[in-house]
A and B are shown apart, each in its own frame.
Chain A
Amino acid sequence: MTTLLAIDWALLTEKLILIAIIIFASLGIALYMTYGERKVAGILQDRPGPNRAGPFGIFQPFADGLKLIMKEEIIPDTSNKALFILGPGLAMSAALMTCAVVPWGDHVELFGRNIALQIADINVGILYVFAVVSVGVYGIMIGGWASNNKFSLLAALRGASQAISYELAMGLSLIAVLMTTGTLQLGEIVKQQMAPGHLWNIAYQPLAFIIFLVCAFAECNRTPFDLPEAESELNQGYHQEYSSMKLGFYLFSEYINMFISSAIMVTLFFGGYDVPFLNESLLSPNIAALVGIIALMTKIVCFIFFFMWVRWTIPRFRYDQLMNLGWKKLVPLALANMLITGAVILLWFNK
């Protein structure tokens, strides 16, 4: 290839295409998650849910999207304009950035090239996820502050403190997992779980998974931890002053977060794109990749369903309960889990 700027242009193109595909796929999935959410709510509450647009209402997301785009765009007079616009953008881009390190499949062989189905298998993969998640808080904070509305501000502060508190327990629970895997590379973690004779990580670290799951709920601001948008206390939460597609961005980023955190949980604890009892190396790479992606997506959809199920089942926490749970229950629990894991590894596997 050309040596302009000493970059491997083919690799770059390949990665750019992959990025585009993943981003559009995420957006599409998020789009249909709104539909799924309403359907699940309908089923759980014994009502039909959206059913007007198209058969079973499957065009409902597009109708919703169109509505959001068409609505009048209002930027409050007293808001901080630049930051008001920056807020939703940050929330969205932080949500999308996480998918860079998720291994969506092993690899495919196209046009004689061996294309890995992971944008970047960096050796601090899981930490990268953390960094992006922790930066994602700014979307909420900036949006809430720039609105110049006290309810928005309060919601933003709630959101930020919640995210920081639960990030801690999340990180601590992960340390135990990383002790057993010995690597932070997500691709490597999946390969370990696929190896014959090795179970999924959930079998070794059930407690870590439960803590991680709870924290993921809190990080995504999902019920029962959706305090930043507690409409009964804060009108509507941090996006109260937002309208049109800016509001859409906030709502969307929440669904994307949910999707990505499901993907991360599947990758870390449920074998990623591994199909149980199937030796993928016997299949041709492309078929294996396809099967893997389908397996991954199935697992993710299960998780997303779980997210929704919880939302329509469990009431919202009070703020002090939230903080108590985070700091006084989950953090010590995660620490204990870490200590026990460390001790077990040291005593039994120290050869």
Chain B
Amino acid sequence: MSQTTLERAVEDVGPLRAVFITAMPDCLLYDAWERAEDGFEVEEIAAYFGDLVRSNRQGLKALGSWSSDMQVTIESAESLVVIREINEHFVCGCVFERSAPLGMVRLQMKRMIERIAEMLPQVEAQERPRGVRLVEFVSRYAPDPHAALMRISVRTGLTMEQLEAAEGLDADAVERLESATKRILGLTQLSV
């Protein structure tokens, strides 16, 4: 989807500040639109929104109350953020002005998602190797990101070169990688 296309999909949505389209399951930025030069790190934000939706999905499934049309709404001091899973391949995160009435936002969100959904391509997503996704995940969320791969290396016995080419890791190596990732992030399970 070109920038022009996304711009057309969000026109007339007055209080909207930014839109991020995340390609799943790898949480990669597909497209973004910003009304002003807010200086957002668009790739990072898209990745965080993707992870958030995935975690939310896991949590709701654990509660037995998951449905495919779920929507996450976050009311922060500065903005109103609504994140919605468009389909299994794409997540849309929208940042609205904080002053926008919630009812109006929901209505606009519904119309906008319909327009965006029509513009998105039909894709057959190919999931990347789990090792690659784990390396990206720990690099994104480790408390000392500059040291994340070195920490994983000494914990797993996998060399830095192996971690940088994680698509070639065998099942045992991926298991060690997952275990080290959980330990570093203080998590008992990963929904990567």
A, B: real partners = no
Q: Which residues of A contact B (CB under 8 A)?
A: none
